[in-house]
Structure 1
Amino acid sequence: MNELHHALKMSPDYQALPAKVSQLVLKQVEKTFKSYQKAKEQYKKSPDKFTGEPKLPRYKDKEKGRNVLTYNYQAISKKALKQGLIKLSGTNLEFKTNLKEVLEVRIIPKLGAYCLEIVYEQPSSSSQEGERYAFIDLGLNNLAAVTSNIPEFQPTLVCGKALKSCNQKYNKTLAKLKSELPSLQKTSKRIQGLTLKRNCKVDYYLHTASKYIIDKLLAHQINLLVIGHNQGWKQNLNIGDRNNQSFINIPHSRFIEQLTYKANLVGIEVKTTNESYTSKCSFLDLESIQKQKSYLGKRIKRGLFRSSSGYFYGADIKYLGKIIYT
């Protein structure tokens, strides 16, 4: 890192930024290459854990290339912060804020626009006592099915059809715009604007849904949230081309991240669990979660499951029952 710093510190690009910011750019480059080297070593030992061979980080385009720019607390004006403003060193950029302390500010390029991320510390609440658990199963038409081991907790389904509709409209418009591009052109300002608008809509919906869920858990004094999730589930998905596309376009990992940090802020612990075979094993029959020669229960139709004893119940709630059972 020191060698890289001394080799580049006199370059015009390095000097165009405040010294602290330029050093952070070099640290990002160093971190990227170290991550690549580590992934390369792991790939040689266990290639089955990867979807493909790790690739060497590439150069950004000299004119169009954009990268994340990070300003740490040393490159943020303390005087301006006391006046309710975030002012970045070496720029005319100012943003109103009610924060008294800021750890860092990130300027992130996103499809023809820039997003500002402000990082600050917020103390988390102490966790609740007792065995009060909640469980979430993620899906497509139902973005999330939520239940609990608390009797007074009413199972809740969070609709995912709005996201599905948004993605379908986006895919249709995107295909039309791509068909109008010249043969060697891959994107356009209209495509970038369309994608940015779609991403903002999805992110807003996920934030709203995750806040709704966490508020409900907090109202019932839940202290542990368990989320069903399978590593690499989207790469191996086979539910038909149309459903595959809709499911893959919904960023469930982002949703899990939002649920996790919002839960931690209010003192709720979060765990993820593997939910393989939960779609076929019968919860009411206490059937073990593994591949069976023949299964005790049966899915009658979409969203409806029947146990061997003849009881009918929702498929999403059945998945949650199996997660609880494990």
Structure 2
Amino acid sequence: MKANRVEKHIIYPKNPYYQMLDEYCFKSKNIYNFANYQIRQKFCKEGKYISYNQMDKLLKQEGMDNDYRNMPTAQSAQQTLKLLDKNWKSFFKAIKDWNKHKEKYTGRPKLPKYLPKNGRNVLVLTSQNCKLKDKKIIFPKGFNGLTLKTKVDNLQQVRILPRNNHIVIEVVYQIEIPETRKDNGRFISIDIGLDNFVTIGNNVGVEPIILNGKGLKSINQYYNKKISHYRQIAKRMNKLDYTKKMNKLT
């Protein structure tokens, strides 16, 4: 059996490729919101839905959304539409269930929302866009020579995820999962706690293991105290929720 795994790479603002990646994530957000507007208008006025294929064809027309035609690859623009299409299908599924079982909900499911005007959206590249060669991931031409060293030997897709003060590039690959062994009657139990971070017991007579968690608990308390202090200062002085100092502490 095969399963997906993710290898992560962090891109900070000092990286020469950061601004380019951030711009593509901004364009992905623009495409998402533009297409969502078209679908919402059609649905609210006529009760009809614009499918992924219809929207793809619509946005390729002259005079429509320029960001759609100016993305680094056609597939990356289409992946943004597929994400929106998935969100709308989830909405329709929720509405159908709501009509049958209103007691399960606090209210009618809402239409897929717009992303924040100044926000960013995930950018997805397929294995057709990115290539593996000599333990490197080679990005398409629109990425100005960007490559990443990798340990993976197969590639499913690459996800570029915008975060606070950095970007995460996720390399999705597959591994083979061995078949589960049959029950042999040998068990261990793992209990997660605070003062005792981990307690491990078993039924085969091996001495139990206890990991002291007081040190981690102390670090966590210190972090929470500091981050609360910095957040109060940031809101009072600059009306911000997050600062570079808080990012360094994290």
TM range (shorter): 0.5 to 0.7
Structure scoring higher RCO (CA < 8 A, sep ≥ 6) equals: 2
Shift in alpha-carbon separation, 1:179–1:192, aligned structure 2, 3 A: closer
Q: 1:146 aligns with which of 187, 190, 200?
A: 200
CA contact (8 A) 2:194 2:213 kept: yes
The DSSP-based 3-state class of the residue aligned with 1:122 is strand
The DSSP-based 3-state class of the residue aligned with 1:66 is coil
Give per-residue Cα distances to partners, 1:251-281, cap 9 Å, x unaligned: xxxxxxxxxxxxxxxxxxxxxxxxxxxxxxx
Calculate percent identity across the aligned residue pairs: 32
Shift in alpha-carbon separation, 1:37–1:141, aligned structure 2, 3 A: farther
Q: 1:99 aligns with which of 138, 152, 160?
A: 152
Give per-residue Cα distances to partners, 1:113-148, cap 9 Å, x unaligned: 011211111112343342222222333333433222
Shift in alpha-carbon separation, 1:60–1:191, aligned structure 2, 3 A: farther
What aligned pairs does 1:1-326 form with structure 2 within 5 A after superposition? 1-10=52-61, 11-17=65-71, 18-39=73-94, 45=101, 56-63=111-118, 65-77=119-131, 81-89=132-140, 90-92=142-144, 93-129=146-182, 130-152=184-206, 154-182=207-235, 185-190=239-244, 193-194=247-248, 198=250
Shift >6 Å, 4+ stretches: none
CA distance in 2 between counterparts of 1:126 and 1:87 reads 34
Task: Give the TM-score of the pair, scaled to structure 1.
Answer: 0.50
The DSSP-based 3-state class of the residue aligned with 2:185 is coil
* Residue ranges of structure 1 left out of the alignment (5+ in a row): 199-326
Give per-residue Cα distances to partners, 1:207-248, cap 9 Å, x unaligned: xxxxxxxxxxxxxxxxxxxxxxxxxxxxxxxxxxxxxxxxxx
CA distance in 1 between counterparts of 2:246 and 2:110 reads 25
CA distance in 2 between counterparts of 1:47 and 1:137 reads 36
CA distance in 1 between counterparts of 2:213 and 2:58 reads 52
CA distance in 2 between counterparts of 1:8 and 1:48 reads 38
Alignment coverage as a number of residue pairs = 190
Task: Give the TM-score of the pair, scaled to structure 2.
Answer: 0.63
Q: What's the C-alpha RMSD, in Å, of the aligned pairs?
A: 3.1
CA contact (8 A) 2:235 2:241 kept: no
Shift in alpha-carbon separation, 1:27–1:127, aligned structure 2, 3 A: same
* Residue ranges of structure 2 left out of the alignment (5+ in a row): 1-51
Paired letter, 1:100: D
Q: CA deviation at 1:39?
A: 4.5
Paired letter, 2:135: G
Paired letter, 1:34: K
Instruction: Return the structure number with greater strand share.
Output: 2
CA distance in 1 between counterparts of 2:208 and 2:108 reads 42
